[in-house]
Amino acid sequence: MAKKIIRSIALLTGGGDCPGLNAVIRAVTKTAINVYGLEVWGVEDGYLGLIENRLRQLHQQDVSSILTLGGTILGTSNTANPFSFAVHKKSGQVEFVDVSDRVLSTIREKNIDALICIGGDGTMATAAKLAKLGVTVIGVPKTIDNDLVGTDTTFGFDTAVTTAAEALDKIHTTASSHHRVMIVEVMGRYAGWIALHAGVASGSDVILIPEIPFHIDKVAEFIMDRARRGKRFSIITVAEGAKEKGGSLTVRQTIKHSPDPIRLGGIATRLSSILEEKTGHETRAVVLGHIQRGGTPTPYDRVLATNFGFHAITLLMEKNLKGHLVVINNGQLGSIPLAKIAGKVRVIPKNHPLIQAAIGVKTSFGI
Amino acid sequence: MAKKIIRSIALLTGGGDCPGLNAVIRAVTKTAINVYGLEVWGVEDGYLGLIENRLRQLHQQDVSSILTLGGTILGTSNTANPFSFAVHKKSGQVEFVDVSDRVLSTIREKNIDALICIGGDGTMATAAKLAKLGVTVIGVPKTIDNDLVGTDTTFGFDTAVTTAAEALDKIHTTASSHHRVMIVEVMGRYAGWIALHAGVASGSDVILIPEIPFHIDKVAEFIMDRARRGKRFSIITVAEGAKEKGGSLTVRQTIKHSPDPIRLGGIATRLSSILEEKTGHETRAVVLGHIQRGGTPTPYDRVLATNFGFHAITLLMEKNLKGHLVVINNGQLGSIPLAKIAGKVRVIPKNHPLIQAAIGVKTSFGI
Amino acid sequence: MAKKIIRSIALLTGGGDCPGLNAVIRAVTKTAINVYGLEVWGVEDGYLGLIENRLRQLHQQDVSSILTLGGTILGTSNTANPFSFAVHKKSGQVEFVDVSDRVLSTIREKNIDALICIGGDGTMATAAKLAKLGVTVIGVPKTIDNDLVGTDTTFGFDTAVTTAAEALDKIHTTASSHHRVMIVEVMGRYAGWIALHAGVASGSDVILIPEIPFHIDKVAEFIMDRARRGKRFSIITVAEGAKEKGGSLTVRQTIKHSPDPIRLGGIATRLSSILEEKTGHETRAVVLGHIQRGGTPTPYDRVLATNFGFHAITLLMEKNLKGHLVVINNGQLGSIPLAKIAGKVRVIPKNHPLIQAAIGVKTSFGI
Amino acid sequence: MAKKIIRSIALLTGGGDCPGLNAVIRAVTKTAINVYGLEVWGVEDGYLGLIENRLRQLHQQDVSSILTLGGTILGTSNTANPFSFAVHKKSGQVEFVDVSDRVLSTIREKNIDALICIGGDGTMATAAKLAKLGVTVIGVPKTIDNDLVGTDTTFGFDTAVTTAAEALDKIHTTASSHHRVMIVEVMGRYAGWIALHAGVASGSDVILIPEIPFHIDKVAEFIMDRARRGKRFSIITVAEGAKEKGGSLTVRQTIKHSPDPIRLGGIATRLSSILEEKTGHETRAVVLGHIQRGGTPTPYDRVLATNFGFHAITLLMEKNLKGHLVVINNGQLGSIPLAKIAGKVRVIPKNHPLIQAAIGVKTSFGI
């Protein structure tokens, strides 16, 4: 196959926020311009900008000083899927239509030769479909949850772990001074990577993750056993997706539009009230929520994001690849086909060395 | 009155956690030993330790390296009030009895000449009662909420504001990148000091505090007005005790012991769902909770706590005072009688210069 | 006197870097536009921009998102003094000439009704001279050293103390683990405010400040006495301007343009080698330098800078003042005439309460 | 070979300070006690404690709450080598003698079955010699410089990079506001890992490392070229061991015991004065020094240190290994013989992907 000549690229960020997006944008833009003399277009608000033809050219000064900024200067959109785009009808109904032709038309109009998509599994699923339509696409994986298959890690994860661990550090002294059980809920709906790492980093006594369904009575017993040994406090790190074995502590529901809006407790809130009853220890819950997704990326994540951004352009310009995703495995940058990651979640294997080490330092997983 | 000779003091910390408690403990202990050659006793778990005669002698090495630690090495107890102490009867009933004689007996037995009580209004109310019974007491004010009357500020407040502002900084880029309304709930049940300071420090667009009941429609209008001017995101800092003018957005209830525990949304959660409906903007809430009470105190708070601890001993040993509280007013350390602060809350005056400045930089208070 | 009508202001930042400058710029600009509908001009690079007529109009979006940024978006210049401006002659000589007419001409040309000068004593001295020439000037004090007379504190100081204290925290564990004397040199040529605050905040064993000339032998004796009591390490915080009593440990010289450039040791480096010899303890020095001047301002400084910026406009628009400096005394915002601060340095009184408290917790000042 | 039964271990930390030492001590101690019921002895001050028979038993509570502390609770000694131990003679002379028999005698006396040595290459060289004498030794690698062969990384490095990058972040705004060249010297005598990572993480314009000798004129030209493109400032990150190609900018000497102690400038100070002369730009240098070795380890390093500590015990108890070092390669924990790492330094390969990426984003290495 003759190598396609690339003169112009477009760049978009999709999905939830993640520290390091701007570092990728900077690395892609600078490398594309400095090394290959490409024209670089920034797409506004993810795929929505391709649908609505909202792009702006990026020059070096546009990405100057953004390395340490959280968020994305391009904006993003969680929901805009060009293959199933919500159109609001006059009737009030919402219809989902395929507007991928609008994306293709934008790409043609702006003479864009390749598209760099930075995002999570949703963004990559769309990228894979665009690749099938003939668009030259390179993906850059993004997830603070660290649960994308095909890559050992992604930028944003180290920052999320750091934010969670620093919150846990603050909680620690309060728990200890007040002889309390403190429960901190961190992100991780399907995989417990943040909980495991932040839990070990903060010396949590209990870590609850989706991969290891827990027995609530084992957790209570562990807390009471600590108390018997003179430790009148415990710290529990719980992933939002942690599940009780055979139990009901799993539902997270929001009844929003009732006159008096009520949120059924997330896992931390519900654990808190059950454990207080079972153990007799005063118990408090904190739900970290969105602070895990924002803020200045850690130096580790800035380096990783710069590597990813640079490598995306290398895959495109040197390796003549398309429809591939930048990955890092065993410390080596590489790539895999976009199609390979669709719909899968990378969970923690039960015999993961860090779980073994955590058990070694006497952490309970509620089993 | 002949000056009482002080040879031995006891020291306790009461009430909720607050960064800087250990810095006070260190300053009191070191000054008492180094400067005045006193014997220093640390009371465990607040007044509970006086009731149960649990004290340990503190030497210099016991307070070495605790300056930067959150929490209190002495432990604390939120609820132990010797004048109304919960006794669990065999019948299962709880009876509240006056056990202040046990406190006096502990003080006599250990030959304690003066008591230093570090705590908030609850702790000071008890301290004032002990003073009336003849105990030589000096109080050191503690509240992260900054709402104690008689003193312009207390240690812990700067740390709480810093923790809240850093969380708001993280939230900012996500709000901006995702065109969202982000609501961050900070502590402050009766006074909005943390919300006001953290809100201004983080450039929040809206600040809602108990002192200024807000109109929900004014808040929604402000957000939509920003959107019309191209600012598709807004940050709201709300004190937990903020109140809707004439409205119902005030209740914070917990139905704990239902089979399926349900927490009625705090103010942030409830604001979130109402504003999303009124403005059409995606809205998210974060409740910071206990992370505001923990962690390493800021250098500002370490200095203030050291000043307070040193001054407490000075009041006792140089000024021959008792039944007084260390305070700082207009930058000057001083003291006021314990009795003067009972049952009052220092709220933000509506014409406070920082409110004026906040309005100057176009912050809305929902009015 | 008839009140001058103000329709347009210009804003400049002068002197060394200081965290919070951008926060002042933001507060001045937003308040001027939002509250008074003024036109705002940003002067580039301090007085140099007035001499060279380099100004740009500032709108609200220009100061959006700069609250947390260190540095100044306007640029600054340490040396440009319009009353004594260095002109490089063809002969190679430098001549200092009065170019204040160029400043006045710029002000006239741009129709600027008032000038807001943010800076230290040098900037204020020039501002005072411009005021004498009839320019309506308001000053905003800036010094990380906290040594401006007339105001109890300025923005930037809390950030500098925090940076220094955090560095000292890091040093602490190394000193303790390695049984070393660690010396940390902080800023403060004429006044020891940073050293005193950071020293107390970090629990330094010795604090050396310009206000209290030290005896090197007292310092050595203190360290050896600690060692005899089992404390095999010491932390010394020294202000760059600390002086040995009657001694020679004061010179800081740089021989720059020698072929092999040599820097005579600053006070920390020289103390290090003398104390190692006198005490026999391994000793290391760290000079913090410019990191104290940069970075994100602390929330405390952001609030203070916002107050200062807002108040500067208030003085101008509400109080009809000119030739005045914003100050804060005893916690109250106010103003003093610019002329009053010229050429003076606010040093620490020897009986300052924090010195007393430091001595109370057994800190040596080398006396 | 029959498996030796291990009932008791001793644990020591050697060499320079490194964040994460306490996290290893905690993981080793907890795992040894919890999982294998071993007796654990902490050796004071590195090999010195083995020579002088200063050990204390470690229980779980002794390692509680040390996870986040910098330094080492065991103390360390940079210089104590039992195979060449400095003995001070009465004559004033120092003689180096082999006192390894004292080490063996301590081990016998305390019934220690295995020794865990945490340290750098010096510590490991001694450990290898003890292994040859029949001592069961497991090594845990420690170096903030990241330059130990056999392992891809070690704990402490991420913290050192973070400290350096945060200092560079602070420097950035000052450089930009003042149109200066700012030079920051970081650790790395033989390898530039910290400089490369912190330099990329902070967006440094120039990175100078020992592995790539630089041309001073290329650096000057790069700075002037930036100025021509409107970037009137530059940030240079330089490793302490960076070398000028064929040049003299390499010496770091200290003339300590002269009456007026003089330190020949480190590389940053000397670069500063040369570049100021060559470019005409105001230039400032900062030498970070020991703050890179201290402080709370990052969550990344706490996790790594916990893994290392747990794995050390696993190697000993499950794999029946001795004379081996814990390593991590391609993300996998493993081990290599101690003898393999002696006297080697792991330098950055010139084609390292991060160097490529750095060049991609237009960083100069002075070549």
**Cα–Cα distance, B162 to B166 (Å, whole number):** 6
Measured between beta carbons, the chain A residues lying within 8 angstroms of D202 are: 67-68, 299, 302
Residue D310, C-beta contacts closer than 8 angstroms, at least 6 positions apart: A356, A357, A360, A361, D27, D28, D31
DSSP state of C192: -
B305 in the same domain as B289: no
Q: Is residue C325 part of a domain?
A: yes
Please answer whether residues D273 and C257 qualify as being in contact, where contact means their C-beta atoms are separated by less than 8 angstroms. yes
pLDDT, mean of residues C254-274:
62
> Is the pLDDT reported for residue B1 higher than 60?
no
Question: A117: how many CB neighbours lie within 10 A of its CB?
Answer: 31
Asked whether residue C346 carries a pLDDT value surpassing 70, the answer given is: yes
Largest Cα–Cα separation, chain A: 73
Tell me if C83 is assigned to some domain. Answer: yes
Same domain, A272 and A200: yes
Tell me which chain B residues have a C-beta less than 8 angstroms from the C-beta of C306: 200-201, 354, 357-358, 361
Can you give the pLDDT at residue D254?
40
Q: Verify that D110 and D180 share a domain, yes or no.
A: no
Over residues D121-138, the mean pLDDT reads 96
**Contact flag B34-C360 (C-beta cutoff 8 Å):** yes
Distance, in Å, from the CA atom of D195 to the CA atom of D203, rounded to the nearest integer, reads: 11
pLDDT grade for C344, boundaries at 50, 70 and 90: confident
pLDDT in the model for residue A91:
87
Is the same domain home to C198 and C276?
A: yes
DSSP letters spanning A230-298: T---EEEEEETT--BTTSSTT---EE-SSSS-EEE--HHHHHHHHHHHHH-S-EEEEE-GGGGG-SPPP
Q: What is the spatial distance between Cα A359 and Cα A209, in angstroms, rounded to a whole number?
A: 14
The residue among C229, C262, C293 that closes a domain is C293
Kindly determine whether residue B182 and residue A76, on different chains, have CB atoms separated by under 8 Å. no
Residue C14 near residue C118, CB atoms below 8 Å: yes
Give the minimum alpha-carbon distance from B35 to chain C in angstroms, rounded to a whole number: 6
Q: How many CB pairs under 8 A join B and C?
A: 144
Same domain membership, residue B211 and residue B144: no
Tell me how crowded residue D230 is: count the other CB atoms within 10 A of its CB: 7
pLDDT of residue A344: 86
Average pLDDT of the residues in B180-187: 96
Tell me if B169 is assigned to some domain. Answer: yes
pLDDT at B58 exceeding the cut of 60 = yes
pTM: predicted TM-score of the whole model, two decimal places: 0.95
Residue D202: pLDDT above 60?
Answer: yes
B128-166 tens-digit pLDDT: 999 999 999 999 999 999 999 999 999 999 999 999 999
Q: Do B286 and A286 touch (CB under 8 A)?
A: no
Pairing between β-strand B254-255 and β-strand B85-88 as defined by DSSP bridges: unpaired
Q: Choose the catalytic residue: A145, A147, A158, A301.
A: A145
Question: What pLDDT score was predicted for residue C266?
Answer: 86
Q: How does pLDDT run across C9-43, given as a tens digit for each residue? A: 999 999 999 999 999 999 999 999 999 999 999 99
**Predicted confidence (pLDDT) at residue D166 exceeds the cutoff of 50:** yes
Pairing mode, if any, of strands A254-255 and D8-13?
Answer: unpaired
Tell if the CB–CB gap between B269 and A256 is shorter than 8 Å.
no
| Residue keyed to tokens 């347009």 | C8
Query: Which residue, among D162, D181, D161, has the nearest Cα to D171 in the 3D structure?
Result: D181
Regarding predicted confidence, which is higher, D192 or B248? D192
Model confidence at C248, in pLDDT bands (50, 70, 90)? low
Closest C-alpha among C206, C190, C160, C161 to residue C250:
C190
Is B248 a residue whose pLDDT tops 70?
no
Can you tell me the mean pLDDT for D238-246? 93
- Interface predicted TM-score (ipTM): 0.94
- Interchain proximity D311–A202, CB inside 8 Å: no
Mutate to test the interface with C, among D177, D271, D278, D283 (most CBs of C within 10 A): D177
CA A330 to chain B, closest CA, distance in angstroms equals: 31
Calpha distance D290→D107 (Å, rounded): 33
Domain identity same for C141 and C103: yes
Direct distance between the N- and C-terminal alpha carbons of chain D, in angstroms, rounded to an integer: 55
Mutation choice for A interface testing from B174, B176, B244, B301 by most A CBs within 10 A: B174
Q: Which pLDDT score, from 0 to 100, does residue A88 have?
A: 86
pLDDT (tens digit per residue) in C124-137 = 999 999 999 999 99
Quote the minimal CA–CA distance from A125 to chain D in Å: 27
pLDDT interval class at D123 (50, 70, 90): very high
Task: Give the pair of three-digit tokens for residue D132.
Answer: 């040859």
Look at residue B183 and tell me if it is in a domain. Answer: yes
Mean pLDDT of C201-221: 97
Checking if the pLDDT of D263 tops 70, the result is no
CA-CA distance, D302 to D69, in Å (whole number)?
A: 10
Beta bridge partners of D328: D333
Assess whether pLDDT exceeds 50 at residue D255: no
Token reading at A88: 């609001």
The tokens of C117 are what?
């000068």
Indicate whether A88 belongs to any domain: yes
CATH number at residue D83: 3.40.50.450
Q: Which of C27, C307, C361 sits opposite B26 (nearest CB)?
A: C361
Whole-angstrom distance, CA of residue C224 vs CA of residue C305:
44
Residue C111 included in any domain: yes
- Rounded (10°) angle between helices B193-201 and B157-178: 50
- CB contacts of A25 in chain D (<8 Å) are none
**B-contacting chains (≥3 CB pairs under 8 Å):** A, C
Phi, psi of C360 (to 5 degrees): -60, -40
Question: Looking at the domain assignment, is residue D2 inside a domain?
Answer: no
A332 neighbors D330 (Cβ within 8 angstroms): yes
- What proportion of chain C, given as a percentage, has pLDDT over 90? 85
What is the per-residue pLDDT across B76-100, written as a single tens digit (0 to 9) for each? 987 789 999 999 888 889 999 999 9
Q: Do A294 and B173 touch (CB under 8 A)?
A: yes
So what's the pLDDT on residue C91? 87
If asked whether residues C131 and C171 sit together in one domain, one would say no
Same domain (yes/no): A30, A135? yes
Q: Which residues of D touch C13 (CB under 8 A)?
A: 177
Task: Please tell me the distance from the alpha carbon of residue A85 to that of residue D231, in angstroms, as a whole number.
Answer: 43
Asked if the Cβ–Cβ distance from C264 to D264 is below 8 Å, we say: no
In this prediction, residue B4 carries a pLDDT of 77
A80 lies in some domain: yes
- Count Cα atoms within 13 angstroms, Cβ side, for C164: 40
Which of B22, B200, B326, B348 to mutate against chain C (most C CBs within 10 Å)?
Answer: B200
Block residue for tokens 């999320």:
A160
Query: What is the residue range of C205's domain?
Result: 159-293
Q: Are B145 and B37 in contact (CB under 8 A)?
A: no
Please give the full DSSP string across D42-93, using - where no structure is assigned: EETTTHHHHHTT-EEE--GGGGTT-TT-SS-TT---SS--TTSEEEE-TTS-
Q: Please identify which of the residues B17, B121, B145, B158 carries the catalytic annotation.
A: B145
**CB contact (8 A) between residue A27 and residue D313:** no
The three-point CA angle B163-B168-B171 to 5° equals 130
Q: Where are the beta strands (DSSP E) in C69-227?
A: 85-88, 94-97, 114-119, 137-141, 181-186, 206-208
Query: Judging by DSSP bridges, how do beta strands C254-255 and C262-264 pair with one another?
Result: antiparallel
Name the residue of chain B whose CA is nearest to C160's CA: B299
DSSP D265-276: --HHHHHHHHHH
Confidence of residue B318 (pLDDT cuts 50, 70, 90): very high
What is the average pLDDT value for chain C, to the nearest integer?
92
Through-space distance between the first and last CA atoms of chain C, rounded to whole angstroms? 55
Which residue of chain B comes nearest to C157, CA vs CA?
Answer: B300
Q: Do D299 and A161 touch (CB under 8 A)?
A: yes
Residue from C166, C296, C298 to probe the interface with B (highest B Cβ count within 10 Å): C298
**Alpha carbon of C77 to those of C44, C308, D282, D286: distances in Å?**
9, 21, 11, 20
| C168 and C288 both lie in a single domain | yes
Q: Which of D121, D145, D205, D301 is catalytic?
A: D145
Pairs across A and D, CB distance < 8 A? 142
User: Is the Cα torsion angle D162, D163, D166, D168 positive or negative in sign?
Assistant: negative
Residue of C nearest to D173 (CA): C71
**pLDDT beyond 60 at C2:** no
State yes or no: is C17 an active-site residue.
no
> Which residue matches tokens 């100050």?
C327
Copy the structure tokens of residue A244: 């009780």
Residue of B nearest to A177 (CA): B75
* Residues B27, C360: Cα–Cα separation, whole Å: 8
Query: Are D175 and D289 within one domain?
Result: yes
Helix axes C193-201, B299-317, angle to 10 degrees: 80
| CATH code of the domain covering residue D163 | 3.40.50.460
Residue B127 — very low, low, confident or very high, per pLDDT cuts 50/70/90?
very high
Instruction: Give partners of A (≥3 CB pairs < 8 A).
Output: B, D
Domain count, chain B: 2
Place of tokens 């237009």: D362
CA distances to A19, A334, C231, D22, D158 from D296, rounded to whole Å, are 22, 33, 22, 10, 11
Closest C-alpha among C121, C152, C145, C14 to residue C342: C121
pLDDT (tens digit, 0 to 9) for every residue of chain A, 367 residues total? 456 799 999 999 999 999 999 999 999 999 999 999 999 999 999 999 999 999 999 999 999 999 999 999 999 987 789 999 999 888 889 999 999 999 999 999 999 999 999 999 999 999 999 999 999 999 999 999 999 999 999 999 999 999 999 999 999 989 999 999 999 999 999 999 999 999 999 999 999 999 999 999 999 999 999 999 999 999 999 999 999 998 766 444 443 333 333 344 589 999 999 999 999 999 999 999 999 999 999 999 999 999 999 999 999 999 989 999 999 999 899 999 998 887 789 999 999 999 999 999 999 999 9
pLDDT in tens, B321-366: 999 999 999 989 999 999 888 778 999 999 999 999 999 999 999 9
Measure CA of the first residue to CA of the last residue in chain B; give whole Å.
55
pLDDT confidence tier of residue D249, bands split at 50, 70 and 90: low
Residue D349 distance to chain C (closest CA, Å): 31
Q: CA-to-CA distance for A261 and A77, rounded, in angstroms? A: 26
Q: What was the pLDDT predicted at D2?
A: 53
Shortest CA distance to A122 belongs to which of A17, A16, A25, A211? A16
Crossing angle of helices A157-178 and A299-317, in 10° steps, is 160
Measured between alpha carbons, how far is residue C41 from residues C8, C57, C112, C314 in Å? 8, 4, 8, 18
- Which residues on chain D are in Cβ contact (under 8 Å) with A307? 353-354, 357
C-alpha radius of gyration, chain B, whole number: 23
In terms of domains, do A112 and A190 share one?
Answer: no
Confidence at residue B249, expressed as pLDDT on a 0 to 100 scale? 62
Same domain? For B143 and B35 the reply is yes
Collect all residues with Cβ–Cβ distance below 8 Å to B159 and sequence separation of at least 6. Answer: B19, B20, B144, B295, B296, B297, B298, B301
Q: In this complex, do A76 and B178 lie within 8 Å of one another by their Cβ atoms?
A: yes
Question: Between these two residues, D53 and C339, which has the higher pLDDT value?
Answer: D53
Read off the amino acid at residue B92. G
